[in-house]
Amino acid sequence: MQELDPSVLQKVNTWLQGNYDADVKQQIQKLLDDKAYTELTDSFYRDLEFGTGGLRGIMGPGSNRVNKYTIGTATQGLANYLKKTYPGEKIKVAIAHDSRNNADFLATTTAEVFSANGIHVYYFEALRPTPELSFAVRHLGCKSGVMLTASHNPKEYNGYKAYGDDGGQFVAPHDKAVMDEVAAISSIDDVKFNRVDENIEVIGKDIDELYLAEITKLSVSPEAIKRQKDLKIVYSPIHGTGITLTPKALELFGFENVILVDEQTTPDGNFPTVVYPNPEEKEALTLALKKAQEVDADLVLATDPDADRVGIAVKNTENEFILLNGNQTGSMLINYLLTAWQDKGKLTGKEYIVKTIVTSNLIEAIAKAKNVTYYNTLTGFKYIGELMTQLQGKQTFIGGGEESYGYLVGELVRDKDAVVSSAFIAEMTAYYKDKGSSLFEALIDTYVQYGFYKEKLISITKKGKTGAEEIKAMMEKFRTNPPATLGGSKVITLKDYEKRVETDLNTNTTKAIELPTSDVLQFITEDGSIISARPSGTEPKIKFYCSVNGKLANKEAYKETDQQLEAKIDSIMQDLGV
């Protein structure tokens, strides 16, 4: 008969005997009585940790779950870190939450703990997008900020994104310092839960208006929008926070024909019309696509629950709606921005763009051709934000993004921003329509000009403690025994970002990787294919990113070349055994 691991049982008993609410103890006791040992193990085998996206997990009782106590402990740790980092200063923080179940309760808990620690809290009156929280941190001169969200995860999840004084998520060494402070809290009795009302200030509309006004100033092609103001845009917030600002941003940019997906406009943490509230999933856009067909839309936009990611659909040459992936949208956005800046004579040689190491190298090819500096960062938008802060005042950030549907235009925030991205994707669509081209045709033109880059992401889910161990074993296997060939092409370079070493497999020589350590492996083949293996920092998954490329002779060759590159990706994935 299965028994509980002694370390797990010890944690369970700590919660049963400690200063926790009676209903929480009741839930835990029921799991014990029912001998639900797998669930108890997953709930208590570790403490929730900050990953690439902060703290994220399934809601419920336990140290490895999101609840009042894990959120309270994280906040107390963050409060202790802030007080040590800014001794004698008046510390201010901003707090917001999305539409998830319990998000307002968890945001209130966060505000109460900060207030009990003598920290001044700017508390958003109701749900707001993640990027607005980043903007508020910067605008209000806060030392930190917290967003209660689990982004695009299923409804069972919630989470906690912690921000530094630049409006970006914490990076090394600060993230580790916060984690150390959280780990140092040995008892729930060390967490101050008693609210101090005078330390909590409610904010809302004033920040909304300022943020939207600043976004609108960034517009590069207002004259194209003026001529294409009737562009038909279908928009869905997928039951999330996007509804609070995205339609208004589109209106302020000058778009007069925005059609909402009514069934998905009401914020709802159960996300009743979708399986996953993730614009990366075609299923999440089903209703938006249906509406687009009804009204013959030019563009479909859908944002995730905290409105930091946006998915889009456009019409292809056969007049069918197709979804663009994150690499395609990101590449198009960067190409548009650089072209529009060039058109206006705004490129001075001091501008730059940023992408992550697993995002399409098409972006790199475009930047090189236009003589604009580009940077690669580790996966996770916090690294893009960190670079922006380092370069502030020295170079001008035009835009950046990552393949996971997160983009940013302008320097107002330090996180991915679906509000500003939606406005600019609409502006880009108007710009190309003004020139007699659809967005899809402009994408094909981009491939003809810079090369046809095709990417695919394969995610393998491995849940719980055993899943984490399996993922670790897979990475170890790839590290010690890298594939010799992939898709019929020799693997010539191995980049190990954990060891920060790049190995030339032809000469067996190595050189250092000048990026922070991260559990990522990249295989680069002779024909320029790049395959990356990376365990997710926020979900129980291992992700394989595959990028292949070839020449596209002309528009007519698109379908055939697309099929050839797809076959190549399939062959590579087969070789990897995934």
Tell me the residue ranges of DSSP E strands in 403-540.
Answer: 406-409, 452-461, 485-486, 489-496, 501-504, 509-512, 521-525, 530-535
Rounded Cα distance between 151 and 213, Å, is 25
3-class DSSP assignment, residue 350 = coil
DSSP state of 18: S
Residue 298: burial class (beta carbons within 10 Å; 0-12, 13-18, 19+): buried
CA dist list (Å): 377 to 383, 513, 514: 6, 11, 10
Decide: 256 and 230 in contact? Cβ < 8 Å.
Answer: yes
**Any alpha helices (H) in 54-202, and if so which ranges?**
68-85, 103-116, 130-139, 174-183
Helix (H, G, I), strand (E, B) or coil at 66: strand
> Rounded CA gap, 135 and 163, in Å?
11
Is the separation of the CB atoms in 200 and 121 below 8 Å?
yes
CA dihedral (91, 92, 96, 101) positive or negative: positive
Catalytic one among 43, 99, 115, 151?
Answer: 151
**Six-digit token string for 243:** 């509804």
For residue 279, cis peptide bond before it (omega within 30 degrees of 0): no
Which burial class, exposed, middle or buried, applies to 299 when counting CB atoms under 10 A from its CB (0-12, 13-18, 19+)? buried
Going by C-alpha positions, the residue among 479, 483, 508, 484 that lies closest to residue 496 is 479
Residues 6+ away with beta carbon under 8 Å from 251: 258
Distance in angstroms (rounded) separating the CA atoms of residues 48 and 68: 13
Residues contacting 489, CB < 8 A, separation 6+: 525, 526, 527, 529
**Is 536 known to be catalytic?**
no
Tokens for 426, please give them. 């609409």
Tokens matching residue 412: 């107002």
Name the amino acid, one letter, at 335: N
Question: How far is residue 444's CA from residue 466's CA, in Å, rounded to a whole number?
Answer: 44
Nearest to 491 by CA among 458, 457, 528: 528
CA dist 248 and 254 (Å) reads 10
Label residue 414 exposed, middle or buried (CB < 10 Å: 0-12, 13-18, 19+): buried
Task: Find out whether 95 and 163 touch, Cβ atoms under 8 Å.
Answer: no
| Residues catalogued as catalytic | 151
